[in-house]
């Protein structure tokens, strides 16, 4: 395996692990009964966090 192929494979493995973790979190949240946030609510939370850091 060339270094380039190895790098591509590592990135693919990392991407799959991240997606799997995201999916597990999403399923856990869905079963917890917490209401879903709208895109506007998510953006407001992000903005508030960024403003807090400044």
Place of tokens 């999403």: 26
Q: How many domains does the chain have?
A: 1
Counting Cα atoms < 13 Å in the Cβ hemisphere of 18 gives 6
Q: Please give the average per-residue pLDDT across 1-7, as a whole number.
A: 94
pLDDT tens string 12-45: 999 999 999 999 998 998 899 888 899 999 999 9
pTM for the full predicted model: 0.59
DSSP 1-54: --HHHHHHHHHHHHHHHHHHHHHHHHHHHHHHTPPPPPHHHHHHHHHHHHHHH-
Q: Domain containing 43: what range?
A: 3-53
Dig out the tokens for 16 from the structure. Answer: 């799959």
């Amino acid at each position: 395996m060339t270094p380039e192929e190895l790098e591509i494979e590592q990135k693919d493995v990392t991407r799959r692990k991240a997606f799997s973790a995201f999916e597990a979190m999403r399923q856990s949240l869905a079963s917890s009964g917490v209401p879903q946030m709208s895109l506007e609510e998510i953006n407001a939370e992000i903005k508030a966090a960024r403003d807090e850091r400044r």
